[in-house]
Amino acid sequence: MNYQAPRGTYDILPDEISKWHYLENIIRRNAKLFNYKEIRFPIFEKLELFKRGVGETTDIVEKEMYVFKDKKGRIFALRPEGTASIARAYIEHYMTSSQKNPLRLYYFGPMFRYSRPQKGRYRQFYQFGLEYIGSPQPIADAEIIALGMKIYQDAKVPDIKLEINSVGCPICRKEYNTTLKNFLFKDKEKYCSDCQRRMDINPLRVFDCKNDSCQNLLKNAPRMIDNLCTDCDNHFKEVLGLLKKMSVEYNVNPYIVRGLDYYTRTAFEYKIDYLGAQNEIGGGGRYDDLIEYLGGKPTPAVGLSGGLERVILSLDKSKVYIPDEDSLDVLIIPMKYEFICQSIEILQSLHKNDISSIIADSQTSLKNNLKYCDTNKVKFAIIIGEDEVISGKFVVKNIRERSQKKIIISEICDYIFSNLKLV
């Protein structure tokens, strides 16, 4: 049988991994600057967590969940996003009692959604997220948004734009939903079946429809941003003012609602315009009611998430230079298998000094081993032959400088360590 990766998944091969490390390192460095701490949570959770947390009328829960039963008949789902799990962990571990609020967290990891695979959109995809938990203040929204923008800019993502909106709170949204329903029901039969069903249950979800005809019908729809209560309106204006203070450029887009039900007030997206349909590379918003809704105490929060694949696609398309990762420091070349003991002695000494090194196959010719050093940018080669074993002096070749020197075994580590700084 010819086995292949499942549809919608893929392998990240060694030749590509440097791009992922490059991006992950930028995220970690910026998270550290703002004192965000890493959290890791399960790849699967109880299905009910995502139904309640993400929203039963969202595309994710209705169409895209990977759901399964375990041997005891309990129903679980592979995680489609990270915020619901963050909220569950926050409640379960009483993180408010052991951590000083507000709590800043970040995460990496694979997420899973059953959707039609295409370039930049997979069934297993990789996501990073940032969460700021415990503050209702607009500065929390602004910090998260500015940090996300800084990550993308430091990664050199070209021409990235921020779009922002307010989706209000349950108080002003209730009145707005009535206004929106009146608009939608005038032309109910012209909308797709999904939109028709959602008009009754959660009319705001209609804005999330990808159907072009539905989008055209919504062009004159009443806007949430024009129906905000005083508190939500003031919050939104202050967020925009703080973003200006932080030199973060933005466009107000009144039709952003995001694909998840837990958002309140601020909602935002980071977009690019050169990857076709995959123009959104990240986004987020405030979710002040989620933790209470899942059984915790009332706790305001705001967060964002971003897909790593689309960032890497944008870097590839724009030919952004990504530095090579450090190559192998030393290749130890025993000319015969009998010299393996001396090779191991040198290898262990190098490793104790944090010098990366491996032992070459003794059946491979010296010429091919040196060719390997050239091709793979190895910095030094140590040659162990009969003359070297007898004399106790080993040939150390500086591959980049095309020079070599005979050195006694006890001085090899010091020699290579001091010269590594120069190559």
- Taking only the tens place, the pLDDT of each residue in 240-292 is 999 999 999 999 998 887 756 778 999 999 998 877 666 889 999 999 999 99
Residues 304 and 388 in one domain: no
CATH of the domain at 344: 3.40.50.800
Residues 295 and 356 in one domain: no
What is the separation, in whole angstroms, between the first and last Cα of the chain? 47
Last-in-domain residue among 267, 289, 317: 317
Residues 164 and 278 in one domain: yes
Query: What is the domain range of residue 233?
Result: 17-169+229-317
Residues 248 and 397 in one domain: no
pLDDT score at 354: 92
145 part of a folded domain:
yes
Q: Is the pLDDT of residue 423 over 60?
A: no
Residues 127 and 57 in one domain: yes
- Give the chain's domain count: 2
* Sequence letter at residue 117: P
Q: Check if the beta carbon of residue 199 is closer than 8 Å to that of residue 214.
A: no
pLDDT score at 99: 58
Q: What is the mean pLDDT of residues 78-94?
A: 94
- In this structure, what are the phi and psi dihedrals at residue 123, rounded to the nearest 5 degrees? -80, -30
Q: Is the pLDDT of residue 237 over 90?
A: yes
pTM of the model: 0.86
Q: Check if the beta carbon of residue 213 is closer than 8 Å to that of residue 192.
A: yes
52 part of a folded domain:
yes
Residues 267 and 126 in one domain: yes
User: What is the 8-class DSSP label of residue 121?
Assistant: B
CATH of the domain at 110: 3.30.930.10
- Taking only the tens place, the pLDDT of each residue in 101-112 is 789 999 999 999
325 part of a folded domain:
no
pLDDT score at 330: 94
Residues 244 and 302 in one domain: yes
Last-in-domain residue among 283, 317, 351: 317
